[in-house]
Structures are given as structure tokens and as C-alpha cells.
Homo-oligomer: A and B are copies of this chain.
Amino acid sequence: MEDNHHFNAGTGSNLTVAGTVECDASIMNSAEDFGAIGATSGIKNPIKAAYRILLGSQETDPHGRIPPMLVSGNTPSDLAVDPSEMITSKARSEWERWKTVIQTEQQPYGVTNDNIVQDTVGAILCTVDGEVAAGVSSGGILLKPTGRIGEAACFGAGCWASGARDSLNAVACSISGAGEMIMRAFLAKELAESVRRPDCDAHEEIERTLNKFIDMCARRGSDHANAGVILIVAEHHEDGVVRPRLWCGFTTQSFAVAYATSMDSPPKAVILRRPNRESDKSGLYITSLPLS
């Protein structure tokens, strides 16, 4: 997805105020190993760099240094490309348009929230044995300051994975939306932990956690409580079989999700749309998609 120009991740990312691409990405596994890369320029696939940090964090240093979880900036590596190759003409024209709006203090004309590309990408997986992993990759918000590190690189914020332990379910989730608010809420960790009890009602737990997030945003004066979540809960049934369940929750008008299983083909892609209900003040939509 980082190579697809339509997404705000890798090539095609939103540009910073300086007109550059700076990406964040992170990845986590069942053992809660974690690797993240923040505000990096010229790495074609930031998630691969994040994965390399995760692998490094599994190694023991003979001199007692603890390996990093989060690395920022340019990491010289075989993953590097010319940073300008990651700038698409669409990203450049959006940058020019908004730069003008801001410099001339115009009221944005003909631009609604729906026109603003915020398509950070996330991926989660669950094996038949109940192993889980989660990742997220983002180009961040358009015209962000250079060096800004967002939720996609922060532990507990943009993605989370925890394996089954004691009586707890395995769970993986990935989130995008209002980055700094998601960081404040430790939203990925909070969501994942809320659904680990095997007897819990996942729908209720996700609703409670996202409503808490919306309340926190309101309390801090932000009316952009944007968040979109994909979440897998791997329920261990008594017959020894793992039954993963895929949940989606979002506060935006629409949310795109694609999924596949090894038992079922071909992959499915849907754009979920929130019903317009005036009584639904929270503007929250939660649903579970059948995986088999």
C-alpha cells in the first residue's frame, strides 16, 4: 500500500510545510516486540525500516545497550531512494493549493473535509494458531512541520498486537485519524486491551473506548475526533480452534477495508459508510465483518 499513489503513506504521502515527504511507520508482533521509524525521508517503504528496528530489538547487545524502539530521520540503508521520487503530482498540487490558502489567509473555497486525503494505511493479521501482528504507515498531515512525529510511530498509539496469554484473547489493531489525539489517548493499546477478556462484549468495549476518546478530544477543545480502527480478536474456543473476528470502528463518514483469509477466496474490499442518524450524536460506527 505504501507504493500505491492513492494512499497517504510512502509514495504519495502528504507533503510537509517544506514540500518534502516525511513518513512514520510502526509494527508489533504477538510478543509485543515493537519497531518504529519517525519523520523519515527517502525510505521507499517505511514499514520495512520499522520491521528492521523490531528485529533489532529482539537481539541482545553483549555490552548491555538496549536496542532502540523508535528511530527518527534519515537512516542510511539499502531501503533508501531519492526523496523526490516519493512526491506525486497530486501531492504536490494539494500542497501548492493549501500553501496558498494559508499564506494568503484565504477561507478555503470548495474544500470540504471529504476532500482532504487522510488515507493512512494499516494492516493486521492473525494466523490459524492465533499469532497476531499489526502495522501502520502514514505520511502524516498535510503541511505538518518538518520533523513532526505522529501516532503511526508512537508505541501504544497507532498499532498494537498482543498474543494470547493466560486466559486473555490475542488481539491486533491498527488506527489512523487525528494523530496527536490518538497519541494522547494511547488509543491502540487502550482498544486492544479493552477486548482481551474472553467473556467481554467486543462491540461494547470498542464503543466505550472510542467514546472516551471522543470525550477527551472535546475536553481538549478539538472537534476533530477522527479515528478509524481495524481490530482482530482471536477467540480461543473450547474445541481448540482459533476464531478470529474482524472489527471496524470509525468516526468519519466512510472507511475502506480489505480482507482475506486462507480458507476463503478471493479477497474482499468494502467501503463502509456511516448511516446518517441525527440521534447518533457521537458519530461513531462499529461493525464486525464475517471472515468465513
Taking the closest CB of chain B, its distance from the CB of A221, in whole angstroms, is: 7
Taking the closest CB of chain B, its distance from the CB of A73, in whole angstroms, is: 4
Copies of this chain, complex-wide, total 2
| Set of chain B residues within 8 Å of A38, measured between Cβ atoms | 38, 70, 72, 149
A68-B180 in contact given A156-B186, A186-B186 (Cβ < 8 Å): yes
Please tell me if the beta carbons of A147 and B179 are within 8 angstroms of each other in the complex.
Answer: no
Q: Which of A78-86, A138-146, A281-289 lines the interface with chain B?
A: A138-146
A141-B66 in contact given A38-B149, A154-B154 (Cβ < 8 Å): yes
Cα–Cα distance between A155 and B153 once the two chains are bound (Å): 12
Interface residues of A in 96-115 (CB under 8 A from B): 98, 101-102, 105, 108
A277 at the interface (CB under 8 A from B): no
State the interface size on chain A (CB cutoff 8 A): 49
Cα–Cα distance between A40 and B133 once the two chains are bound (Å): 31
A237 at the interface (CB under 8 A from B): no
A198 at the interface (CB under 8 A from B): no
A211 at the interface (CB under 8 A from B): no
A202 at the interface (CB under 8 A from B): no
Residue of B nearest to A37 (CB): B147
Partner of A68, one of B72, B108, B145: B145
Encoded as 1 (CB less than 8 Å from any B CB) or 0, chain A from 32 to 71 comes to 1010001100000000000000000100101111111111
Cα–Cα distance between A179 and B183 once the two chains are bound (Å): 18
A148 at the interface (CB under 8 A from B): yes
26 pairs across A/B with beta carbons < 8 Å? A38-B38, A38-B72, A38-B149, A39-B72, A60-B221, A63-B101, A64-B224, A65-B142, A65-B143, A66-B141, A68-B144, A69-B180, A69-B183, A70-B183, A71-B145, A71-B147, A71-B149, A72-B72, A72-B73, A72-B147, A73-B147, A75-B147, A149-B149, A155-B183, A186-B186, A186-B189
